[in-house]
Chain A
Amino acid sequence: MFARNSTKEVCFENELRTTDYQIVLAGNPNVGKSTIFNSLTGMKQHTGNWTGKTVECASGIAKIKDKSFSVVDLPGTYSMLSFSAEERAAASYLANNEMECVVIVVDANIIERNLSFALQVLSVKKNAVLCLNLCDEAEKNGICIDADELSLNLGIPVVCTCATKNRGLSELKNAIYDICTEKKKCFCVSRLYEDIDIFDEKKHKANVKNLLEKSEQICSRCVTYNKKEINDRSLKLDKIITSKATGIPIMLLIFALLFWITAVGANYPSEWLSMLFSFIKEKLYLLFDAMNAPDFITGLIIDGVYTTLTWVVSVMLPPMAIFFPLFSLMEDSGYLPRIAFNLDKFFSRCGAHGKQSLTMAMGIGCNACGVTGCRIIKSKQERLIAIVTNNFMPCNGRFPMLIALIMMLFAGGALTVISSFEIAAILLLIIVLCVLATFAVSKVLSSIVLKTKGNGGFSLELPPYRKPQILKTIVRSFLDRTLFVLFRAIIVAAPAGALIWLLANLNINDISLLKYCTDFFDPFGHLLGLDGVIIMAFILGFPANETVIPIMIMSYMASGTMVEYSSYQELFNLFSANGWTVTTVICTMIMCIMHSPCSTTVLTIHKETKSLKWTLFSAFMPIILGIICCAIVSGIASLF
């Protein structure tokens, strides 16, 4: 819920000026701004229970009664006392832009700290509504807030909401409407903020003290605490989830379970989908035959484009449709920051920031998102380490590839409960190895190349656990993330399929272009326990890793044996007919994890680091590592 970026670039060139009024959402991180934004605009921005969730800035349009409102979701920052770029951006946006109303969203549970932010906003813009979010949770925690008294103290309307349960939202809309249409006026309580200048960096400490004193005063008038211990349940959970004995085992168990459900659950729909697609394929052949289509067109459309597309859909869709919603549930619960908390010691040893585990988790979804997400790490060098190493986490393009490769290893027997656990265990082991690779590279980078001393320090907020809205999260993450990623993959897969088919079928001297290429890479490939086709597939898969396996399949099929693949068994048959061994599978997995990030990620890295040197480094460092690892593995394997 943390829209954090250089706001100026993204949000404000839109056609927002055509609406009647402009409103802005401002607030601390993780107070529920995205949820409020979604319910105001009816948009579906992704939400999660951790600081730093929203990376891109959002803007949308809301309709309240007869008027239209443009809504801008400002970067969620702890303060606007201008010492980091985002905070300066937020502050100067508020100061320099016209808006009829600022909606200050605060977490009712930590109202005292949040009020200090509210006062900062009020020192620049007087027309505001205070939205006390998460009111029900605060009530349960015995925090009683007198909204009327608070409203009198601040001079602005105060609305209690519980955005996830849609409570208080119509009141909030009415309050915004009344302020914008000047039905109600805000009072300027200048003694609250007259001596605060958020743009004066030298006064930072004085400002903070001043603000905290004032918010303490206000709270003493409006807030009563009925219970001594807050977040009882959350604390008890934390004692289990972060304890010495159970913390790490629980974490491994959760991930193992996640992988197990993904791998096993995806297997069946994958098979159904590919059966369906091969059925359609036969009908397509008949159709093309009936139309007397030339062989070239039939081959290009059906064997090239259609085959690649359906492979990507049938292999990628099921794991993603299962993994993403489950992962979103984990995000919403507030577990992710605990992972960062549990593992920070290792990151600290490697000269990296604990929040890197958050960006790594994002990387499992998409490396480009993970790289952008590294903005949550403030220290420049630690952020660079996180960006450069993010690629070691297998993204959703490579994740199904890993699953497919592992499944192939087990393709001989039926998928029993025991073997399915083994699959999950192997997947977990691979992720652990990815994490170790990340640590190793981080360590080398921080101690030799960058020589960081960790001056940035470390502070991480652990929000209370919240029960995720299960159904809503599942539906939303399926619609937003899964379909979005799938759509992107399809866009790349179709031309890739056409290209590879052309390469395989355009002949010079009776030998296909593809054969020239794969033969060229073959000796080098064999040195690494791979072959020319695999190397070629990784090179052609640069725009999207999803296409790597379909390219391999097409290349093998073009070189002779024509197989209908509808299961991992047949994939295994095809690959082993082309000389694959267990070593090949292992080396391919290594290359899958350690090769250059996809083109989108490389571009994102350049955008984030603004350095050609580091972009090239992040593109080539993994390949070199991958080549070394593969050479070692195949060297060892050849001894036996």
Chain B
Amino acid sequence: MEEKCSLSSIALQNSAKICEVECSESLKNRLYDLGILENTIITPIFASPFGDPTAYLIKNAIVALRRKDCENIIVNPLK
């Protein structure tokens, strides 16, 4: 079985594959547009000075997301 956890628990520089996006409808739509949806690879690359939000690399672009929102994105960590 594949291991599952929330995106917020992925350590920096570790990639993960998105399994499910369980955010509110409006945010979900926005995330989809940024390419954040099932089966894409996402990598947290650096955090802001106060620890939140975190910048994620997705499809060659850098997108910042808050921890609270990331808790609702279920991912499958890659080795």
A interface residue numbers (CB < 8 A to B): 78-79, 81, 83, 109-110, 112-113, 116, 143, 204-205, 208-209, 212, 230-231, 235, 238-239, 242-244, 247-248, 341-342, 344-346, 348, 354, 378-379, 454-464
Which of A109, A143, A242, A456 sits near B26, CB closer than 8 Å?
A456
Query: Residues of B contacting A243 with CB < 8 Å?
Result: 46, 49
> Can you name the residue of chain A whose Cβ is closest to the Cβ of B60?
A110
Is the CB of B10 closer than 8 A to any CB of chain A?
A: no
Q: Across the interface, do A78 and B65 meet the contact criterion of CB distance under 8 Å?
A: no
Q: Across the interface, do A458 and B66 meet the contact criterion of CB distance under 8 Å?
A: yes
Q: Across the interface, do B23 and A457 meet the contact criterion of CB distance under 8 Å?
A: yes
Knowing A78-B34, A209-B37, A341-B53 touch, does A459 contact B29 (C-beta < 8 A)? no
> Can you name the residue of chain A whose Cβ is closest to the Cβ of B49?
A247
Q: Across the interface, do A242 and B55 meet the contact criterion of CB distance under 8 Å?
A: yes
Which of B23, B35, B64 sits near A341, CB closer than 8 Å?
B64
> Can you name the residue of chain A whose Cβ is closest to the Cβ of B27?
A457
Knowing A81-B29, A348-B52, A457-B24 touch, does A113 contact B35 (C-beta < 8 A)? yes
Query: Residues of A contacting B47 with CB < 8 Å?
Result: 242
Query: Residues of B contacting A143 with CB < 8 Å?
Result: 60
Query: Residues of B contacting A112 with CB < 8 Å?
Result: 35, 59-60
Q: How many of chain B's residues have a CB under 8 angstroms from any CB in A?
A: 34
CA distance A399 to B7 in the complex (A): 43
**1/0 contact trace for B20-31 toward A, CB 8 Å?**
000110110111
Query: Count the A-B residue pairs with Cβ separation under 8 angstroms: how many?
Result: 128
Q: Across the interface, do A230 and B60 meet the contact criterion of CB distance under 8 Å?
A: yes
Query: Residues of B contacting A344 with CB < 8 Å?
Result: 48, 52-53, 64, 66
CA distance A212 to B65 in the complex (A): 21
CA distance A454 to B23 in the complex (A): 12
Measured between C-beta atoms, what is the minimum distance from B63 to chain A in Å?
5
Knowing A344-B52, A455-B24, A455-B26 touch, does A109 contact B60 (C-beta < 8 A)? yes
> Can you name the residue of chain B whose Cβ is closest to the Cβ of A340?
B64
CA distance A79 to B65 in the complex (A): 19
Knowing A455-B24, A458-B69, A462-B55 touch, does A78 contact B33 (C-beta < 8 A)? yes
Q: Across the interface, do B64 and A113 meet the contact criterion of CB distance under 8 Å?
A: no
> Can you name the residue of chain B whose Cβ is closest to the Cβ of A455?
B24
CA distance A400 to B35 in the complex (A): 44
Measured between C-beta atoms, what is the minimum distance from A378 to chain B in Å?
7
CA distance A523 to B52 in the complex (A): 49
Knowing A83-B26, A378-B26 touch, does A460 contact B60 (C-beta < 8 A)? no
Query: Residues of A contacting B60 with CB < 8 Å?
Result: 109-110, 112-113, 143, 230
Query: Residues of B contacting A348 with CB < 8 Å?
Result: 52-53, 66, 68
> Can you name the residue of chain A whose Cβ is closest to the Cβ of B38?
A209
Query: Residues of B contacting A231 with CB < 8 Å?
Result: 62
Query: Residues of B contacting A342 with CB < 8 Å?
Result: 48-50
Measured between C-beta atoms, what is the minimum distance from A346 to chain B in Å?
8
**1/0 contact trace for B36-79 toward A, CB 8 Å?**
01101000011111111101000111111110110000000000
Query: Residues of B contacting A454 with CB < 8 Å?
Result: 68
> Can you name the residue of chain B whose Cβ is closest to the Cβ of A213?
B39
Q: Across the interface, do B34 and A461 meet the contact criterion of CB distance under 8 Å?
A: yes
Q: Across the interface, do A113 and B69 meet the contact criterion of CB distance under 8 Å?
A: no
CA distance A109 to B57 in the complex (A): 13
Q: Across the interface, do A461 and B37 meet the contact criterion of CB distance under 8 Å?
A: no
CA distance A230 to B62 in the complex (A): 10
CA distance A348 to B65 in the complex (A): 12
Q: List 9 A-B contacts (CB under 8 A).
A: A113-B35, A116-B35, A212-B40, A242-B46, A342-B48, A456-B24, A456-B27, A457-B26, A457-B31
